[in-house]
Amino acid sequence: MSDSSPSVPRWLTLIGIGEDGPDGLGEEAKRLIATAPAVFGGARHHELAGTLITGERFAWQSPFEKSVEAIVARRGTPVVVLASGDPFLYGVGATLSRRIAVDEMHTIPAPSAFSLAAARLGWPLQETACVSLHGRPLDLIRPHLHAGRHILALTSDEKGPQALADLLVANGFAETRLTVLEALGGGRERIRSAIAAGFDFDAIDTLNVCALEVVAGAGARILPYAPGIDDELFEHDGQITKREIRAVTLSALSPRHGELLWDIGAGSGSVGIEWMLADPSLQAIAIEQAPERAARIARNATAFGVPQLALVEGTAPAALAGLPVPDAVFIGGGGSEAGVMDAAITALKRGGRLVANAVTLEMEALLLKEYGARGGTLTKIEIARAAPVGGMSGWRPAMPVTQWCWIKE
């Protein structure tokens, strides 16, 4: 939330600048830069706009919050912030708007790196996945890797394209065409393409965007869009909510934009991981007491492209203390332990959903008690799979699961 008020006139101008420097700016942008007493930006931005700047130059500080404070301290006096391309596409605009009201800001965007890349390639942006890997884990690309998909990925540096090619090869996408678009819009612009398996470009510019035309080989690790991902894609020791039960569980949890899930007794982390795959805005905290399982959850989160899954190693209910308030809670393990259910119910937001699964009689007895006292819905889920019976086949039932779903009033 901004700490400004609309009564203050516009004093902060965000100007997007490309590799072509002043040549790519309009007259208004040039005038505002030239007359600003204070200009903030990265070293590259100051170099690009150097012939225009007459005021004091301020380079970005580390941590970045120091620069934000310096900008806010000048509230009411003209300030220009230089940004790469569109300030509100993975840019400084989003950060500043949390502190400064939009009525006090004036933005003059330039084409983003994604827009420039799409224009060079002739790719419709609305049909292209745009992913920023700049300062972010490379694994965020994984959920987008589907056969025939077009992806634009903004990397952090000159090492990014090779690392991306290596990830593609390791996950069964070796024949994917990888195009590196360097220093777009400037005199150093260069575009090169190669198949991931044979990628060996050198002297790649630090400023680059990678375009992927995804080709999936046999056995490629493709993460489906629907809930209930194949158990075999997870690393687990048997402690996993099986795919059919997981699909029903995710449906009951009903993820909604921006929500936080507690996955208590996370096991392999499968429920929390699938929760996060449903939408980039979703967050999850996996709570697991066994160190080896906690380490496995972290590996699974990386392998599924959600490395930002939070992990708490400890035993509930003690491990729940101090955690952010959840919008939804899943109890898959340890729910029958003293205090776990009460702690989860107490922590849950009003309108939040709690889903608990039971395979043991002790946990089922607890769910029957909670259902009788609080209401909600109680469901018995039974799955049988075909298996050999001598020379023929028959149904082999899995352990039935009792599921209690409850919404906090």
Distance CA 314, CA 287 (A): 7
Between β-strands 328-331 and 283-288, what pairing exists: parallel, antiparallel or unpaired? unpaired
pTM of the model: 0.90
Structure confidence by residue, pLDDT tens digits, 359-376: 999 999 999 999 999 999
Distance CA 31, CA 287 (A): 55
What's the rounded mean pLDDT across residues 83-95? 94
Distance CA 324, CA 340 (A): 16
pLDDT averaged over every residue in the chain: 95
Structure confidence by residue, pLDDT tens digits, 60-88: 999 999 999 999 999 999 999 999 999 99
What's the rounded mean pLDDT across residues 125-140? 96
Q: Burial of 246 by CB count in 10 Å (0-12 exposed, 13-18 middle, 19+ buried)? A: buried
pLDDT at 7: 62
Q: Which amino acid is at 320?
A: L
